[in-house]
Amino acid sequence: MEYFPFRGVIIEKGACLSSFADYVLGCHPSLYRYARSLCGEPQDAEELLQETYKRALAARRKPVVANADEIRPWIFTIMRHVWQNERRRVWRSREVLFEEAPVMSGEYTEFGMTRKLLVSEVRAAVDSLPVTWREIIVMRDMEDLSYAEIAAILGCPIGTVMSRLARARDALRQLLRPRVAISNEVRQ
Amino acid sequence: MINCSEVRPRIALYVDREVAGAEALEFEAHLTECAECRREYDELRETVDAVRGASPIYELPEQSYAAVEGIVADWQRRQGQPRWRKWMPAVAAVVLVAVGAEWWYSAERSGYEQFAVHAHRNYARGTFPLDVVSTQPQVVSDWLVPRVPFHLELPNHPEGGRKPYALAGARLMQYRGEDVAYLAYEMDRKPISLLISSSSRIMPSGGESYKSGGLTFYFSSEQGLRVITWKDKGLTYAQVSDLAVKGAESCVICHGADGERRKFEGLGKRL
């Protein structure tokens, strides 16, 4: 399935963008990735995703369709509230702490590293981060949300977003350092 | 021209395209000249590019589409329904509560009548001795007054004002934790019971109602006995008898003579 970015919202190619339902459906892949960053496990992420959709659709006040840029931060915020209020206690217990992150093996050679391996390495590194760092990496570097949007979702000042993002990236850099140069070559 | 101390904390902003215009141009100019800042920028850029290049790292499972589309379709279908359909559960809940309250209220009301009938049966069977036995209203009143939580003064009928019924005595009873007065009368050797309570929770009720003298009397049948309930000056009365007449006609038997008959004007028409 192919996606392309549309004013900050990932919309399925060829989709009819005439209704609120279309917009929220367009956020589906993006939301799922954010759910994974919060929950870790695919099954929990799917559960959180569905609950978020139910809450979002039942909400009395929804962003108007004309303001498509507002829809994704709005629904991300709902997801975070659902996760915080109802599931955090359950899911936090499954979280792998950064200090306990496994040391990445160096079995891959410079020439043998494929994109699949790059994805695998990056995912392992991201998954090993604490959830507060993981979610900010996903929102900023994968979902391309702005600092202001992230601050609104997290309910914190932009300065907190910046410092948290800096620490998360430092940690990722440590984990990916041996491979960053290689991965850049692979991408090129 | 900006210097390193200004550039370093803002490298992430530049990488994330949070700076633009003249500020971005100044930033770029500094990076071309400062090797140290450039190295720091490159390191961050490489990390961010590696993550972005690997994205999406989480693949959306195929089955997720059906689940989410189902939720959205369900919402869309409900949107198309008339507005009143959305309120159906709330309306149903209100109706349920109202029916429950009515049932509870009915149970509360009928409980007092059944209690009166039970007392009457026991008295008629002789298994219910009276605390005070007297045909004198004053004697019975004097005994009851210090024992019940309300003022009670049984009427002394003037001599010559004959009544078809006669007082037999009284007994103190308890109904739901409150003291109530039980008065026993007799008419043609048949017992008539009168229960008096000051509880605000007890409300008179019955199948047929009749208004007279500003009071509403309710008439019902319980276990083959006639029950009349009414409320007057904060007291709730329940009279039980096995009189063969129905409804308000039974009032006339005792109170249809003398000056009291005017209280029941129009009764004949109703009956």
Determine the average pLDDT of the residues in B115-144: 88
Determine the average pLDDT of the residues in B132-143: 89
Question: Token pair for residue A138?
Answer: 């996903």
- pLDDT exceeds cutoff 50 at B14: yes
When the pLDDT of each residue in chain B is averaged and rounded to a whole number, the result is 82
Contact A141 B52 (CB under 8 A): yes
Measured CA to CA, the distance from residue B239 to residue B262 in angstroms comes to 21
- From chain B, the residues in CB contact with A146 under 8 A are 18
- pLDDT exceeds cutoff 50 at A10: no
Contact B12 A137 (CB under 8 A): no
- pLDDT exceeds cutoff 80 at B180: yes
- From chain A, the residues in CB contact with B18 under 8 A are 146-147
List pLDDT tens digits, range A80-120. 999 988 765 565 545 444 333 333 444 444 434 567 778 88
ipTM over the 0.85 cut-off: no
Strands B225-232 and A9-12: unpaired
pLDDT score for B248:
58
User: Would you place residue A53 in the very low, low, confident or very high pLDDT band (cuts 50, 70, 90)?
Assistant: very high
Alpha-helical regions (H) of B80-186: 83-86, 88-125, 137-144
Measured CA to CA, the distance from residue B242 to residue B221 in angstroms comes to 10
Nearest to A50 among B43, B51, B68 (CB): B68
pLDDT score for B251:
63
B1 CB within 8 Å of a chain A CB:
no
Contact B67 A50 (CB under 8 A): yes
List pLDDT tens digits, range B40-71. 999 999 999 888 888 888 888 888 898 999 99
Ranking A56-70, A141-155, B63-77 by mean pLDDT, the lowest is A56-70
Domain boundaries, chain B: 4-53, 89-270
The answer to whether the beta carbons of residues B240 and B192 sit under 8 Å apart is yes
pLDDT score for A100:
33
List pLDDT tens digits, range B219-245. 888 778 888 888 888 888 999 988 766
Determine the average pLDDT of the residues in A4-24: 54
Q: Is the pTM of the predicted complex or chain greater than 0.90?
A: no
- pLDDT exceeds cutoff 80 at A182: no
Measured CA to CA, the distance from residue A28 to residue A91 in angstroms comes to 21
pLDDT score for B39:
93
Highest-confidence range of A21-25, A51-55, B19-23, B98-102, by mean pLDDT?
A51-55
CB neighbourhood size of B225 (10 A): 18
Contact B53 A118 (CB under 8 A): yes
User: Would you place residue B38 in the very low, low, confident or very high pLDDT band (cuts 50, 70, 90)?
Assistant: very high
Distance between alpha carbon A33 and the CA centroid of its chain, in Å?
5
Determine the average pLDDT of the residues in A111-136: 83
Measured CA to CA, the distance from residue A26 to residue A3 in angstroms comes to 9
- pLDDT exceeds cutoff 70 at B267: no
pLDDT score for B111:
82
Determine the average pLDDT of the residues in A31-45: 91
Contact B69 A172 (CB under 8 A): no
Contact A57 B54 (CB under 8 A): no
- From chain A, the residues in CB contact with B60 under 8 A are 28-29, 32-33
Contact B44 A165 (CB under 8 A): no
Distance from CA of B55 to the nearest CA of A (A): 6
pLDDT score for A87:
64
pLDDT score for B102:
76
Nearest to A32 among B58, B69, B75 (CB): B58
